[in-house]
Amino acid sequence: MSRMIKLTKQILVFLLLLAGASWNVLSAEIIPGKLKPFRVLVIIGDQWKDPASYLVDIPKPTGEYSGYEATPEVRGASDFHHLTILLKSWGIPFDIVRLDQQFLDRYMFLNISGKPRYGTIIWDVNKTDKLLHPDYSIIPEMVKDFGIGLIALSDRISQPEIQALLGLKYTGSWESNTSMKIMDRHFITEGLSSPFVVDSGIIGHMQRQQVEMLPGTVTIIEQGSYPQATAKEYPSGGRTVWIGNDHNYLFYFQGIRTLLRRAITWTLGYNLYKTWENDLIMIMDDPGGAQSSWLEHWNYPALTEDIIEKYLIRPLQEHRAVLNINFVAGFVNDRKQRLEPTWKENYVDGFGVKQDFISSKRGYDKGVKLGVFEVMCHGLTHMQPDLVSDPGWYGASLDKERSEVGWYREFGDTRRKKEIPPAEQVWRMRTSRDWLTEQFGVTPLEFCAGGRGTSISYFNNTAKLAGEAGYGWCGWESGYLGKDMVIIGWKFFGTSESPLLVPSLPDAHDFGITREPEKFAEIFDQYPRGRFMSMNEFIGYLHAGNSGNWNTDMNKLTITLDYDPHYCQYFETHASNWNLELSDWLEKDMGKLSSVIVDGNNVKISTGKIEIPQGIGKHKVEVKFFAEN
């Protein structure tokens, strides 16, 4: 019996050693951090108010009373809304887990082979009783055992497991306007200006988070004597970052926005992203709209070919600039009481004004062919779908019903004070796109409701419907449209996060050009260093499908850029440029950068920028390293 017991013990020891050896093999693959894919997982609580997880809207008032602001109602938290905007702006691929609808599971983070699906986690889980009993112990496992990074935001760290991973203890938040300053040299803060400065025009009562530091955690930003950004490393290769400040004002600091982007690089090891410096999108509305013939205070002649060529095309060519134009594809013919395609009309309107749309079309065609005009969609008619029902527009006097501006809003019935049904809206969106494609030979990717007249309830929501109809951007500043989500209320225009949207002079409409055509070119004096770009270029970057992985055998990083033939059509005939950033620890572990190969060709990246040659579909970027002796 004793001999059997001894044999049994030996077998158990052998099995334990075998299991340990197997685990060590797995850990050895994971520890260097080489298996981190180029993808971020954003984990939130109940901040996403759309139950269908499609529409990311501007946070609505909560109904709570505020003792801080001029208005008594407290607006909903903006951290998740701003976070989606930043990640889309940078072109960093991400997915979202919402814990008010999903149970936290290991295989949200791991693939079928048990390897990480994501390189880092952004933790933005608010404190709420609506969560589905999350198993927070999964997060330490992902960081400590699998080397996935973690970036936690503001006061969204109430969970003890998250605090322990960050290496701090959260004690609360109180108001403070003390400046945030860089305290320790670190890759995440390299090159940032200190102290951090809030964006101009942003004034608010900001909460300062207060934490107690635990051993092994580094403070990199302080506000007064309190840490507001920290970093910690684990033997697995997992790295954690906490970024403090008020969650509603967190990203209104350029320094914090850049800090977040660099934190993604540091926790992943590398990053490929887009930034926007001195980039502008100039927009003009209304060409083709019938309202210029019927609305008394908005009556003006259609631009002629000569005016378009002299005052628009020539200065645009001189400055290598693009004018993005919201065209109207259809014309409401009052005499026939029906809709017709625009650009075939040549007549004198009821005010005695000559309307030569045929001449206009020749001018606009020239600009499109030369690449200085970008065709965008301003709706089908810029007028109400129902022009018949009481009080009726057809046949009305110019100084009565026709003078009511509500008739000239297509996607929200502002004359009758009601919304437009979704099927009617989508038909108009798709028909106007088809007509503009046939009229100009290009497919518009931006949709802008005329006069900003829209329907806003959830099922009739104009922006949501435009996303479902296949557009890539909504309105002037409404935001991103895609098959994955719609983001309303875009932010950070005119910063490195988004191009500045500017109206064409003198009044953002062809109306202004008819009165003061020479004013148009003055915009180039206002922005002498600006690059006036195409809206389709911006949309292309927002919709790029990027991904990345390590090849451990070849000591090589491969990043794939996938340009969708619809949303990224701009890149079919234009090159694109991205920023490649490598963390300090990655270069230390992997060796110095050896070469960067794009689509099989060696490229120089002395500036950190990579040019991708023209062409839709997939492009491959290979980053090779060599180890130092």
Shared domain check, 489 and 611 = no
| Nearest-10 crossing angle of helices 79-90, 254-268 | 70
Share of residues in the chain with pLDDT > 90 (%): 83
Q: Does some domain include residue 221?
A: yes
Residues 212 and 355 in one domain: no
The residue out of 490, 515, 540 marking a domain boundary is 540
Domain identity same for 21 and 36: no
pLDDT given at position 34:
57
Contacts with 483 (C-beta within 8 Å, 6 or more apart), sequence order: 467
* CA distance linking residue 496 with residue 336, whole number of Å: 51
My answer on whether 523 and 601 are in the same domain is no
Instruction: Please name every residue paired with 56 in a beta bridge, in sequence order, or none if there are none.
Output: 487
Specify whether 353 is located in the same domain as 323. Answer: yes
The single residue listed with the structure tokens 């922006």 is 463
Contacts of 150 (CB under 8 A, 6+ apart): 120, 121, 123, 139, 142, 143, 162, 165, 166, 238, 239, 240, 241, 267
Q: Nearest-CA neighbor of 272 among 81, 549, 603, 534?
A: 549
Residue keyed to tokens 């102290």: 195
Pick from 486, 515, 540: which residue ends a domain?
Answer: 540
Q: CA nearest 617: which of 578, 542, 557, 566?
A: 566
Q: Is residue 370 classed as helix, strand or coil in its secondary structure?
A: helix
Same domain, 515 and 595: no
Indicate whether 504 belongs to any domain.
yes
Residue type for position 212:
E
Do residues 554 and 520 both lie within one domain? no
* Mean pLDDT of the region 571-586: 95
Q: Cα(333)–Cα(357) distance, rounded to whole angstroms?
A: 13
**What residues contact residue 222 under an 8 Å CB cut-off, 6+ apart?**
180, 181, 183, 228
Mean pLDDT on 492-505? 97
390 and 477 share a domain?
yes
Residue that wins the pLDDT comparison between 250 and 31: 250
Mean pLDDT of 464-470: 97
Query: Could you tell me the residue range of the domain that residue 15 belongs to?
Result: 1-30
| Strand-pair category, 279-285 with 500-503 | parallel
Q: Comparing C-alpha atoms, which of 510, 552, 448, 587 is closest to residue 304?
A: 510
In a domain, 571, yes or no: yes
Domain-located, residue 3: yes
Residue 572 lies in a domain: yes
Can you count the helices (H) and strands (E) in the chain?
15, 36
Contact (Cβ atoms closer than 8 angstroms) between residue 236 and residue 149: no
What is the domain-level CATH number for residue 241?
Answer: 3.40.50.880
Which one has a higher pLDDT value, 69 or 505?
Answer: 505
Measured distance CA(512)–CA(287) in Å, rounded: 12
**CA 563, CA 544: separation in Å to the nearest integer?**
5
Q: Tell me, what's the pLDDT at 31? A: 40
pLDDT at 14 over 70: no
* Residue 296 within any structural domain of the chain: yes
| Mean pLDDT, rounded, of the chain | 91
What is the amino acid identity at position 7?
Answer: L
Question: Residues 502, 507, 513, CA angle at the centre, nearest 5°?
Answer: 115
- The reply to whether 302 and 226 lie within a common domain is no
* Distance (Å, whole) CA 286 – CA 520: 16
Q: Do residue 442 and residue 481 come from a single domain?
A: yes
Nearest to 145, CA basis, from 26, 270, 267, 266: 26
| Full DSSP string of 10-47 | HHHHHHHHHHHHHHHHHHHHHTT-TT--S-EEEEESS-
Asked if 453 and 414 touch (Cβ cutoff 8 Å), the reply is yes
Give pLDDT, residue 19. 40
Q: What is the CATH number of the domain that holds 383?
A: 3.20.20.370
User: What pLDDT score was predicted for residue 15?
Assistant: 38
Q: Is residue 274, in this structure, part of any structural domain at all?
A: no
Q: How would DSSP label each residue in 496-521?
A: TTBPEEEEPTTTSBHHHHHH-GGGGG
Q: Sorting pLDDT into bands at 50, 70 and 90, what band is 318?
A: very high
pTM of the model: 0.93
Residue in this structure with the two tokens 């018949």, named with its chain if needed? 388
Cβ neighbours of residue 318 closer than 8 Å, sequence gap 6 or more:
none
Q: Taking every pair of C-alpha atoms in the chain, what is the biggest distance, in angstroms?
A: 115
Domain count, the chain: 4
Q: CA-CA distance, 558 to 554, in Å (whole number)?
A: 10
Taking the C-alpha atoms of residue 140 and residue 116, their distance in angstroms, rounded to an integer, is 14
Residue 52's pLDDT is 97
What b/e sequence results for 576-598 when a residue is b if at least 16 CB atoms lie within 10 Å of its CB, and e otherwise? bebbbbbbebbeebbeebeebbb
286 and 242 share a domain?
no
Higher pLDDT, 265 or 608: 265
Please say if the pLDDT value at position 573 is more than 90. Answer: yes
Residue 317 has pLDDT above 70, yes or no: yes
Q: Please state, in angstroms and as integers, the Cα–Cα distance from residue 285 to each residue in 35, 124, 531, following that order.
A: 49, 39, 20
Instruction: Return d(Cα 610, Cα 596) in angstroms, integer.
Output: 9
Together in a domain, 22 and 43: no
Residue 590 in contact with residue 555, Cβ under 8 Å? yes
Give residue 13's pLDDT band: very low, low, confident or very high (50, 70, 90): very low
Distance of CA 348 to the CA centre of its chain: 45
Q: What is the mean pLDDT of residues 5-9?
A: 44
Among 268, 292, 312, the domain boundary falls at 268
Residue 20 above 60 pLDDT?
Answer: no
Instruction: Give strand ranges (E) for 106-179.
Output: 120-124, 149-153, 168-175
The answer to the question of residue 273 being in a domain is no
* Other Cβ atoms closer than 10 A to 456: 13
